[in-house]
A = this chain, B = another copy of it.
Amino acid sequence: MKNLALLVLICLLTTHGAAHAKTMADVLAATTPGDWRTLDPERVVYLELETGRVTIELAPGFAPRHTANVRALVKQGYFDRQAVNRVQDNFVVQWSGASGKALTGGAKRGLPPEFTRPAKGLEFTVLPDPDTYAPQTGFVEGFPAARDPATGAAWLAHCYGMVGAGRDNALDSGSGTELYVVIGHAPRQLDRNITLLGRVVSGMELLAALPRGPAPMGFHEKSELQTPIVRMRLASDVPAAERTHLELLRTDTAAFSELIEARRNRKDEWYKVEAGRIDVCNVPLPVRAAANAGSSP
């Protein structure tokens, strides 16, 4: 009887050990189709560069007015034949539309800020670890986010690849006519100070490797040093065969929670010490080519 108890105990420990020994690759290999989602082409904009396509998923849940404005601007071709004119090392790349162009389709040059929104009603996958900048961090509909139980506010977090609407000092001076993407260590001091409206889900390497502009702000004054934008388009305005068909791991699944655990405690043979913790901006958000895609990404 004693031996049986010991055997059960060993069994439990072994199983427990195995359950915690998963790497991210193990977690991804065990996912089912339901763990993944496809992109809604109405919520996706393509930034077409000469070097390739940057795919941006919009976040209307956090920035309904700004994402609607960006959609209207993109639809009228506001960013076509413009240029990425700012590349500040360890900070952001940035581009603007044609400032002299009349806006159509209800688009505006300034909007009330959407820096935060009520946390209520959001399905929030909470990270268990302390964060320097926010009482809680986690994920909402595939985006890194934060919230403050004391105020009831939630907001998107300035992680690598996040896309925002540049503004001047006036809080309502942004609208998406100027866009930026984070290309360095997460500048989380910007959280709640500017409207984030989406995230780059593919093509980050095209933006992150652009030649840096001069310090301190990284603006390329000479047009020949700027990176031409061929055009921006809504995915829904692109023929299905020409879209980038991606699947993203849903962040409201047990699989994603397992992935977080696998990254909090790295079991790869290489690691000597497991951090036992993770920063919201270090959690990978897996993206893969859609299984039945009409074209490859």
Q: Is the CB of A89 within 8 A of B205?
A: yes
| A188–B269 CA distance with the chains assembled, in angstroms | 17
Interface size grouping (class) on chain A: 35 or more
| A189–B274 CA distance with the chains assembled, in angstroms | 7
Q: Which DSSP category, helix, strand, loop or mixed, fits chain A's interface?
A: loop
Q: Is the CB of B89 within 8 A of A204?
A: yes
Q: Is the CB of B273 within 8 A of A193?
A: yes
Q: Annotate A256-296 by CB proximity to B: 1 below 8 A, 0 otherwise.
A: 00000001001001111101011101100000000000000
Counted per complex, copies of this chain come to: 2
| A176–B271 CA distance with the chains assembled, in angstroms | 18
Residue of B nearest to A206 (CB): B212
Q: Is the CB of A189 within 8 A of B275?
A: yes
A-B contact pairs, 27 of them (CB 8 A): A89-B204, A89-B209, A90-B204, A115-B272, A129-B132, A130-B130, A130-B132, A159-B185, A168-B270, A169-B270, A184-B184, A184-B185, A185-B185, A185-B279, A185-B282, A186-B282, A188-B282, A189-B266, A189-B278, A192-B273, A193-B272, A193-B273, A205-B211, A208-B208, A208-B212, A209-B211, A209-B212
| A258–B91 CA distance with the chains assembled, in angstroms | 22
Q: Is the CB of B132 within 8 A of A160?
A: no
